[in-house]
């Protein structure tokens, strides 16, 4: 458990990642960052969670948002209920006199780290991610947090990563050593660029072949950030 142990390799790797990415935009901090991958199984969700943990440890107010409406996992990593969550906030009425949004954002055991789980899926879940309400919600949340980290589905699996990425300051693309196909990674990068999403860096996941347990949300192994 990250809160009870010190993993020097993992902590320093994610701090280096934070330095390389969060302050990569001419010295101006990114406020919203999507973490995604080309295909499933490359470690994007654990990367997003661990990056969020590290940023919170460094004193930032962090919100981790689960936008992976196909396979939401963030709530499970932090032992939180799945709903209410993002979907409930997007479907709540924003009109005066309408029903107030549910209390979807939850605190974690880590100081300054909050989580917005995916929520229960309505029929139009995919459309909600590209809605005006999603854009407005992100703007509102930016006023409350120093940085928002968003976990999305893999780029080549659905259009969701590109949709959400186009609304944010940058995208972090996770690739797994020995697993991710080079052509797939290049297609993912190009697909993001085509919709106006800015890939600010890549993470090489698991270069040494060691994997953290699925139940651990801290991932204390080697990551290498590479700016695009």
Chain centroid to Cα 178, Å, comes to 23
CATH code of the domain covering residue 109 = 3.40.50.300
Any domain includes 84: yes
Any domain includes 76: yes
Region of residue 97 (phi > 0: left; psi between -120 and 50: alpha; otherwise: beta)? left
- Taking the CB of residue 173, how many other CB atoms lie within 10 A of it? 27
CA–CA gap between residue 131 and residue 109 (Å, rounded): 32
Give the mean model confidence (pLDDT) for residues 35-58.
93
- In the chain, how many H helices and how many E strands? 8, 8
Output the pLDDT for position 31. Answer: 93
Any domain includes 7: no
Tell me which of 92-106, 118-132, 142-156, 207-221 is least confident. 207-221
Tell me which of 13-22, 133-142, 178-187, 191-200 is least confident. 13-22
Any domain includes 203: yes
- Taking the CB of residue 102, how many other CB atoms lie within 10 A of it? 14
Domain coverage including residue 146: 14-226
Output the pLDDT for position 118. Answer: 97
Q: Which residue has the higher pLDDT, 8 or 149?
A: 149
User: Binning pLDDT at 50, 70 and 90, where does residue 4 land?
Assistant: very low
Any domain includes 2: no
Any domain includes 152: yes
End-to-end CA distance of the chain: 32
Overall number of domains in the chain: 1
Strands of the sheet with 32-37, listed across from one edge: 106-107, 113-116, 62-66, 147-151, 32-37, 170-176, 199-205, 223-226
């Amino acid at each position: 458990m990250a809160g009870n142990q010190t993993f020097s390799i993992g902590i320093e790797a994610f701090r280096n990642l934070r330095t390389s990415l969060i302050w990569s935009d001419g010295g101006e901090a990114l406020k919203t960052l999507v973490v995604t991958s080309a295909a499933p199984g490359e470690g994007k969700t654990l990367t997003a969670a661990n990056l969020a943990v590290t940023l919170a440890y460094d004193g930032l107010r962090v919100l981790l948002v689960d936008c992976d409406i196909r396979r939401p996992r963030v709530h499970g990593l932090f032992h939180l209920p799945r709903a209410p969550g993002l979907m409930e906030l997007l479907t709540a009425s924003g009109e005066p006199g309408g029903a107030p949004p549910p209390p979807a954002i939850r605190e974690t055991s880590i100081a300054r780290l909050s989580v917005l789980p995916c929520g229960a899926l309505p029929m139009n879940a995919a459309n909600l991610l590209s809605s005006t309400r999603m854009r407005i919600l992100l703007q509102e949340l930016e006023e409350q947090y120093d940085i928002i980290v968003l976990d999305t589905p893999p780029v080549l699996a659905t259009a969701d990563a590109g949709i959400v990425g186009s609304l944010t300051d940058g995208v972090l693309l996770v690739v797994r050593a020995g697993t991710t196909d080079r052509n797939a990674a290049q297609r993912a990068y190009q697909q993001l660029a085509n919709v106006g999403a800015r890939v600010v860096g890549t993470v090489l996941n698991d270069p040494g072949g060691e994997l953290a347990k699925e139940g651990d949300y801290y991932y204390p192994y080697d990551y290498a950030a590479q700016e695009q």
